[in-house]
Amino acid sequence: MSSAVADVETGAALSVARRAEAFWNTGLLAGLAWLATALVTYVLPDVVPWGSTMLFAVLCAAVALALLALVPGIRLLPQRIAAKLRHYGPWLLALGLWLLFWEFTTAKTGWLPKPFFSPPQGLIQVYVADGQRLLICIAYTARLWLLGFFSGIAVGYVIGLALGWSRSFAYWGMPLLKLIGPVPASAWIPVTFYFFPSTFQASIFIVALSCGIPVAILTASGVGAINKAYYEVARTMGAGTSYLIRHIAIPASLPHVFVGLFMGLYYSFAVLVVAEMLGAKYGLGWYIQFQTAYSAYANVYATLVIMALICAGLVKALFTVRGRLLRWQQGFIA
């Protein structure tokens, strides 16, 4: 274990160094952890039947074998992939240990009982048994989220620019925005029902609102925080309002805008359950509610895992876009 810790600390340096260690010691520990999980899952009986127990054991064994094969085999991988693997080695080990603990305390001993807890194979069973419906739910939620998020940030951004740019707009708009901001999404349901012809549009509005507000507030503060000297430099060179907005206000406020976008991304996911309360027939949020009502918590957890993974992917994509657009900032390496 202590050598694994040492690996973690020096891992980054080693992966760059030409004389990288021949064997991947962390990989060995990780492989053993996954193998232990596979054995415990296979050998010990489940307290209650869950289904997919064998499938989980096989999956764990497959990961374990892959890791163990890589202990000597990591040398054969391309440099970049090998470095990535070494970097995430400690995480692979932690994941294996976590699965072992999870499996043992739920399926094998029942210390954490049904229906409040589910073992890993419980979640897998959900994907196996209900996969089709979950895929449809993902598609429905994607449609709602894409429409809501992009219309929300577009409108929020324009409002934020106006608030940051125009004094009179800020005078009337800022207090309103501060009043509206903290209102919980569910409180909008009666109003949106009245104003929007369809429940789908009402749902879009709720998602849009959740991400539009942080984007508007952060954009406004970003524009407000711009060093006035930049405007003066441009004005002495003959710049008009359109240049000041397009070439100064917009790029200079971008770092703030991205903070707003990250907040908006998280809020828009958090609000999906509420948005899909409005008479949706499919959708991840709707699925979570539906299964909660039946105390099918394994299905709820399985859906939450899907949502978390999608959200993490979107966060990563947003980071990439930010890296592109903000490479002018100090500390960004292009």
Partner 1 sequence: MTAGAHTETGRGVAVDVQSVSHAYSIEGAPLPVLDNISLRVEPGEFVSCLGPSGCGKSTLLRLLAGLETPSRGSLLSGSARITGPHPSRILAFQDATLFPWATVWQNVAAGPTARNELRGSRQRIDEAIAQVGLSGFERAYPHQLSGGMAQRAALARALVNDPSVLLLDEPFGKLDSFTRMALQDDLRALWEEKRFTGILVTHDVEEAILLSERVLVFSDRPARLLREFRIDLGNDRERTSRKVVKLRGEILSALNLGHRGKKREAA
Residue 247 or 281 with smaller CB distance to partner 1: 247
Task: Check if the beta carbon of residue 126 is closer than 8 Å to that of residue 300.
Answer: no
Nearer to partner 1 (CB atom), residue 224 or residue 251: 251
Nearer to partner 1, 204 or 248 (CB): 248
Instruction: For the CB of residue 217, give the shortest distance to partner 1 in the complex, in Å.
Output: 21
Q: What is the DSSP string of 274-300?
A: HHTTTT-SS-HHHHHHHHHHTT-HHHH
Tokens 């309103």, residue located = 176
Cβ neighbors of 123 (< 8 A, separation 6 or more) are 298, 301, 302, 305
Please, which residues have CB within 8 angstroms of residue 116's CB and are 6 or more apart in sequence? 297
Greatest alpha-carbon span in the chain: 80
DSSP per-residue codes, 43-65:
HSPPSS--S-HHHHHHHHHHHHH
Q: Can you tell me the distance from the alpha carbon of 116 to that of 138, in angstroms, rounded to the nearest whole number?
A: 24
**56 or 258: whose CB is closer to partner 1?**
258
Report in angstroms how near the CB of residue 251 gets to partner 1 at its nearest: 4
Judged by beta carbon, residue 136 or residue 239, the one nearer partner 1 is 239
Residues 6+ apart with CB under 8 A from 84: none
Q: How many CB atoms lie within 10 A of CB 2?
A: 6
- Give me the least distance between CB of 51 and partner 1, in Å please: 56
Cα→Cα distances 202→190, 194, 267, 279, 311, Å: 10, 9, 17, 10, 22
DSSP annotation of 75 reads G
CB of residue 246 to partner 1, shortest distance in Å? 10
> Can you say how many angstroms the Cα of residue 161 is from the centroid of all Cα atoms in its chain?
27
Of 166 and 329, nearer to partner 1 (C-beta) is 329
Distance of closest approach, residue 334 Cβ to partner 1, in angstroms: 8
- Compute the least distance from the CB of residue 174 to partner 1, in Å: 24
Q: Minimum distance between the CB of residue 224 and partner 1, rounded to whole angstroms? A: 17
Q: Which is nearer to partner 1, 14 or 234 (CB)?
A: 234
| CA–CA dist 245, 240 (Å, integer) | 9
Q: Which of 239/315 has CB closer to partner 1?
A: 239
- Report in angstroms how near the CB of residue 155 gets to partner 1 at its nearest: 24
Nearest to partner 1 of 49, 240 (CB atom):
240
Indicate the Cα dihedral angle 323, 204, 300, 287, nearest 10°: -140
Closest contact distance (angstroms) between CB of 255 and partner 1 is 9
Footprint on this chain of partner 1 (rule: CB under 8 A) = 227, 229-230, 232-240, 243, 247-248, 251-252, 254, 327-330
Q: What is the CB-side half-sphere exposure of residue 4 using CA atoms within 13 A?
A: 15
